[in-house]
Copies of this chain bind each other. A is one copy, B any other.
Amino acid sequence: MDRQKRAKLRAAGWMVGTPREFLKLSDEETAFVEFKLALSKTLQAVRASQDLSQVEAAKRLRSSQSRVAKMEASDPSVSVDLLVKSLFRLGAQPGDIAKALRPRRKAA
Contact = CB atoms under 8 A, between A and B. Distances in A.
A19 interface: no
Interface in A93-108: 93-95, 97-99, 101-103
Contacts of A94: 31, 34-35, 101-103
Chain A interface bracket (under 10, 10 to 19, 20 to 34, 35 or more): 20 to 34
A79 interface: yes
Q: How many copies does the complex hold?
A: 2
Interface in A34-58: 34-35
A34 to B, nearest CB: 7
A81 B88 CA distance: 16
Interface of A: 27-28, 31-32, 34-35, 79-81, 84-85, 88-89, 93-95, 97-99, 101-103
